[in-house]
């Protein structure tokens, strides 16, 4: 089982969230997405943040070796290449086209890539639970809680996978500002699939996918299900 953030988030409204919460989560995300070694702690002004970051990075690296590595796709990181650290990072069967599952579009989204990142999940949170303040290492925690409160087991967000660069002027939408398109959050693949497929066929964009979020405690875990299994690099070079 994935390790969890040991730093407590106060339940009382308006109470300051310790900086260690954010530090640990950011370190964990770096550790599980950059095999094979534990990443170096960044230079920061707050030593408590730095210590928690280092602690989280060790936990993330350990989970990467035992639970599987994840790709910080929307963060711009290269695809994990963990040879010698537990095997290659490869796509998996999404399970959406399993016999008897009843998904009309399952075959189009048969492949899934294990990813993570607070950036795209902040968009999912804003659409699914308006008013929930993401960021600062709390996005995954708030999204998991919102899903549990509403009895939702999975969320799907159509996204583009080819960044053309950040918007010239900020839009307030974190994915758009990073250069990615996204659609509307839905609670089933069949509801979300047509928007992702139309983005490829109507707009004649080569790459698009569904971001699939399932309960992951405080972690920023999600899967990318590319349309027709076409997944590009997360950078423009070579395309």
- pLDDT (tens digit, 9 = 90+) per residue, 73-114? 998 888 998 776 777 899 999 998 755 545 677 789 999 999
**32 and 138 together in one domain:** no
**132 and 33 together in one domain:** no
pLDDT of residue 37: 93
Give the count of domains, the chain.
2
**43 and 123 together in one domain:** no
pLDDT of residue 83: 76
pLDDT of residue 131: 81
pLDDT of residue 228: 92
Residue 79 falls inside a structural domain:
no
- Boundaries of domain holding 222: 92-229
Residues 6+ apart with CB under 8 A from 99: none
**48 and 140 together in one domain:** no
Q: What pTM did the predictor assign?
A: 0.91
Dist. CA 33–CA 31, nearest whole Å: 6
Dist. CA 127–CA 156, nearest whole Å: 11
Residue 47 falls inside a structural domain:
yes
**Cα–Cα distances in Å, from 194 out to 20, 52, 68, 93, 151?**
41, 42, 30, 20, 24
Residues 6+ apart with CB under 8 A from 216: 2, 140, 144, 222
pLDDT of residue 238: 41
pLDDT of residue 20: 95
Give pairs for 198-207: CB < 8 Å, separation 24+: 199/158, 199/160, 200/227, 200/228, 205/160, 205/162, 206/162, 206/230, 206/232, 207/160, 207/161, 207/162, 207/231, 207/232
**110 and 204 together in one domain:** yes
**159 and 53 together in one domain:** no
What stretches in the chain show pLDDT beneath 50?
Answer: 101, 237-239
pLDDT of residue 14: 67
pLDDT of residue 166: 55
């Amino acid at each position: 089982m994935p390790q969890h953030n040991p730093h407590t988030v106060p339940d009382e409204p308006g109470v300051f969230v310790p900086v260690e919460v954010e530090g640990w989560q950011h370190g964990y995300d770096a550790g599980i997405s950059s095999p094979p070694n534990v990443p170096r702690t960044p230079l920061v002004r707050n030593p408590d943040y730095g210590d928690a970051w280092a602690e989280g990075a060790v936990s993330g690296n350990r989970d990467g070796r035992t639970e599987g590595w994840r790709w910080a796709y929307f963060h711009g990181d290269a695809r994990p290449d963990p040879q010698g650290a537990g095997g290659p990072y490869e796509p998996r069967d999404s399970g959406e086209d399993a016999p008897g599952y009843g998904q009309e579009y399952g075959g189009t989204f048969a492949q899934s890539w294990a990813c993570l990142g607070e950036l795209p999940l902040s968009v999912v949170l804003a659409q699914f639970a308006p008013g929930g303040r993401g960021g600062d290492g709390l996005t995954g925690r708030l999204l998991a809680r919102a899903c549990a409160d509403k009895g939702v087991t999975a969320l799907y967000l159509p996204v583009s996978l080819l960044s053309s660069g950040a918007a010239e002027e900020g839009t307030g939408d974190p994915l758009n500002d990073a250069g990615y398109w996204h659609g509307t959050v839905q609670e089933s693949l069949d509801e979300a699939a047509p928007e992702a497929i139309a983005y490829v066929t109507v707009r004649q964009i080569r790459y698009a996918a569904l971001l699939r979020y399932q309960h992951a405690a405080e972690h920023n875990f999600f899967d990318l299900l590319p349309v027709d299994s076409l997944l590009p690099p997360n950078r423009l070079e070579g395309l």
